[in-house]
Every structure is written in C-alpha cells, then in structure tokens.
Structure 1
Amino acid sequence: MASSLLSPSFTSFLSTKKDLSLSNFSSQRCLKAVPRRIRCAVAAPQRQPSTTGSVRTAMTMTEKIMARASEKAQLSPGDNVWVNVDILMTHDVCGPGSFGIFKREFGQNAKVWDREKVVIIPDHYIFTSDERANRNVDILRDFCHEQNIKYFYDIKDLSNFKANPDYKGVCHVALAQEGHCRPGEVLLGTDSHTCTAGAFGQFATGIGNTDAGFVLGTGKLLLKVILCFTKVYDVVVTILCFFLL
C-alpha cells in the first residue's frame, strides 16, 4: 500500500491575502481585487482492497494497463516489468536511427515483430528542399516497403506547402484520428510528446532510438511502473478586474 508523501493536512504555501496598491496606470474606480484560495499538496493515492470483482488489490489505471501488458496479476510503483507493446510509432526524425539499430542487432534481413503494430509517419522533415531531410523520408519509404508496414502515412509534396489529400499530418494527431490510440493499451513512440496519447485511456510514453530498435525486433520493452501523484494547490489568487467607465 502506498503511503502519503505529506501529512493528511494540506500544506498551504500562501495563507494571507495580499493587499494591492494602485499603479500609476490604474484608476480608483476600475480596480477590483478578488481573492481566491486553492489548496496544494502532493500525495500518493491511498489504496483500499477491492471487495468485488477479480482484482483484490487496488491499482491505478497505469498499473492495471501495465499489469495486462506484462501478464502480471498485480503491480506496484517501482516494479520493473517486460511489457508487450501494442503500438510503436516513429517518424522521420528518429525512424532512420531506429531502423539502423534494429538491423544491426537483429540482422540485415530481420523482420519486425508485427507489421500491423508499427505506425510510421513523416511529419518533421517535410516541405523542404534539404537533401538530408528528404533522405530521412526516403529511408522511411524504403523500410516500409521492405517490411510491408501496413500503417505508413506517406506524404507527397505538391509544392506551395500542399500535400496529398490522404496525408495525415502531425503524428500525435494522426495516431488518434486513425484509431491507433485505444484504451487499456501500451503505445510507445520515438517522440517526447507521445505521452499526449494517454488522454485516450492508454499508457503512452516516448522512447529513444535504441529502445525503438529493440521493440521493432521483439515487441517488448522493460519499463518501470511509475508512482502516481495527486496534486491539489493552495495559493491565493488575486484577480484584477478592469471595468469600463
């Protein structure tokens, strides 16, 4: 059972209201201060055993998702587990490096663990005449053709910043729009913003090229179960309301 990081009573950082004086640009008739309190504390979620259902030990949503993905009955913060990855996303920035590591470690003729669980989207190095940037996108195309990747959302530059109508755009938006963000699953991506997919009730996080290369070959990754926090803020907010005379 996780213990609270702070005492049960919330810690107040600002406990007194601060009087505001008028500035040189304010008028006595149009300035109004409205004090408001918000509490702040940081605490790990309290756990109570379940009395119904098959799960007898309470877990956070993240722990439940990772328990399913690791085929474990129970997980706690700090546990290191091998999880089965549901979706791996990469793009034109990290894709070439990830593919290189995959081929170096698993062989030049190796095949990805599941061609339908790899999503590849060029969205960073596009609409440019830079040869190295265009080469990155070409590497994605070659790899997807070689591996017969099902979900490759290619782009065709039609000049004047226009693309093919079926291009999906930014990878994080495309993941959701194309149905790759599903509740209860594990989604990993070679981009720090991958965690935004957690809004769809899944565990999503960014990883590096080395990790992505390993996932391409095995469909698994060693992850640490994170500690979840509850945050409540306690401050005094002063709102200045200016009214037209």
Structure 2
Amino acid sequence: MASSLASPSPTSSFIRNKKDLGVSAFPSTSQIAIQKCKKQASKKIVSVMAPQQSERKPATTGSVKTGMTTTEKILAKASEKPRLSPGDNVWVNVDILMTHDVCGPGSIGIFKKEFGQNAKVWDSEKIVIIPDHYIFTSDERANRNVDILRDFCTEQNIKYFYDIKDLSNFKANPDYKGVCHVALAQEGHCRPGEVLLGTDSHTCTAGAFGQFATGIGNTDAGFVLGTGKLLLKVC
C-alpha cells in the first residue's frame, strides 16, 4: 500500500501536469488546423507576388554609366542640356503645339488673359489648329467655338489652320484634313526627335513617329502659345 501511494499512476500525473501548465499548452485540433492553413496561405501569396521593382536610377560611378532613354535624349536636346536623368525638371522648347475646337477657345482665352489681348504667339508656324470635334452640328455653342478659332487664326496669321466651311460638300473644303491625330501625321507635323504637345489625351499616339508627344491642359497650352516652352519633369 505504501508503494502504491508513493508512485502515482500515469493518468493522475498527466492531469496534474495539464492543470499546472494550463490548457493553452495543449492546443485543440481546430487550432492546429487553422495554423497550418495560415502557413500554407502565406506561402501561396508570396509565390504569386511579383518582385518589387526599384526606381530606375542612372549609374554615376565606375567605368559604365547608364545610357539615356529615347525620351530623355529628345528632351535633353529640346532643353539644351547635355544629359538628363529621372527626377530632373527642365524647360523644354516646343516644336509643335496642336489644339482643336474643344480646348482651343479655352487655351486662347488663357493666353489673352495672361499675355494681353493684343499679344502675339511665339511662332505662328509652329501652331496647328484643327477643328474636328464640333463640326458636324448646328449647335450655336459648338459653332461659336469654331468661330473663335477662325478669328484667332486670322488675327495671329496661323499658317496651319485646317478649317471646314461647307459640311454639305467635303470636296469644297480643301483645307480640311479630318481628325487631328491623323492630320498631324499626314500633313508632316510629326517628325522624329521633336517635341509635340496637344490639348488632347490621344496626342501621345504621335510618339510612334519617334518624337516626344503628350497631351496637356488648356493652362499649359495657353502658356506655350505665349512662350513656346513648358516645364516638364523627367520620370
């Protein structure tokens, strides 16, 4: 009897140890399953995530230096800089500014407000104005927009104004060239190595001709009309 009291059974020892350690030391089957699912899920997420891309920075040390992209070369030439790098802010000389009957009147209004009612554009032969959005309508407001372009082109002696006057007979409109982005290319305004800005989000399609082309807003266009320059950031 004495020996049995001195040697407790394995069962009683297990119960005592469990109480001493606490229930948390013996996780349930459901807790183990949840932990396994979390580990498997985290592995799958990591496996499908694309590697983080670091910002491109030019090499400045060693015998090999990072070359400029095509855009950087074009903007370096247009800003009269020997070299450009991501993050640079530069004043760029514009080769062509295009606007149409949607944004043209607003751009002209800003130009006149900031530079004066009698101000002259920086270069009348580097501005291309193409009415192509509001021409197929009898709406008075739409017609007013086109009339503003006509008056401005006459006032500023704009060489490249592709107007349309007779909607009933397209053959009677030798100056009309169609959609602005098509006309820019077909009339020779898209040239490799140049900077072309336009008040239309699709202006960037002209980049297919090896030039830097992008859309801008009326405020920027009004500034370009008066100066022929625009401040751009190299990204």
Query: Structure 1 length as normaliser, TM-score?
Result: 0.70
Which residue of 164, 170, 188 corresponds with 2:179? 170
Aligned 8 A contact 1:13 1:40 in 2: no
- Alignment check: 8 A CA contact 1:89 1:118 kept: yes
CA contact (8 A) 2:96 2:189 kept: yes
One-letter amino acid matched to 2:222? G
Cα distance in 1 for residues equivalent to 2:66 and 2:74: 14
Structure-1 separation of matches of 2:136 and 2:166: 6
1:210 to 216, 219, 227: 219
User: Match for residue 165 of structure 2?
Assistant: 156
Task: Give the structure, 1 or 2, with the largest relative contact order (CA under 8 Å, sep 6 or more).
Answer: 1
* Residue equivalent to 1:124: 133
- Aligned with 1:91 (options 83, 95, 100): 100
1:102-159 Cα shifts (integer Å, max 9, x gaps): 0111011000000000000000001110000001000000000000001000012332
SS class of match (2:223): helix
141, 155, 164: which one pairs with 1:146?
A: 155
CA distance in structure 1 between the aligned counterparts of 2:207 and 2:53, rounded to whole angstroms: 21
> Which of the numbers 79, 91, 115 marks the counterpart of 1:106?
115
Structure with greater strand share of residues: 1
Aligned to 1:196: 205
The share of aligned pairs that are identical, in percent, is: 85
Q: How many residues align?
A: 186
Cα 1:60–1:159, aligned 2, differ >3 Å: closer, same or farther?
same
Shift of the 202–134 alpha-carbon distance from structure 1 to 2, 3 Å rule, reads same
How far apart are residue 183 of structure 1 and its match?
0.5
- Structure 1 gaps of 5+ residues are 1-10, 15-38, 50-55, 227-245
Q: 1:186 corresponds to which residue? A: 195
1:19-63 Cα offsets, whole Å, 9 max, x none, are xxxxxxxxxxxxxxxxxxxx99967678679xxxxxx76100000
TM-fit CA distance, 1:166: 3.8
Secondary structure of 2:152's counterpart equals: helix
Q: Give the whole-Å Cα distance in 1 for the aligned partners of 2:163 and 2:189.
A: 16
- Mean CA deviation greater in 83-92 or 164-173: 164-173
| 1:67 matches 2:76 | yes
Equivalent of residue 232 in structure 2, options 223, 226, 231: 223
Residue equivalent to 1:18: none
- Residue 102 and residue 138 in structure 1: after superposition, are their counterparts in 2 closer, same or farther (change >3 A)? same
Which structure: larger Rg? 2
More helix by share: 2
CA contact 2:199–2:216 (8 Å) conserved in 1: yes
What is the RMSD of the two structures over their aligned residues, measured on CA atoms?
Answer: 2.5
User: TM-score w.r.t. structure 2 length?
Assistant: 0.72
Contact map agreement 1:127 1:157 (CA 8 A) in 2: no
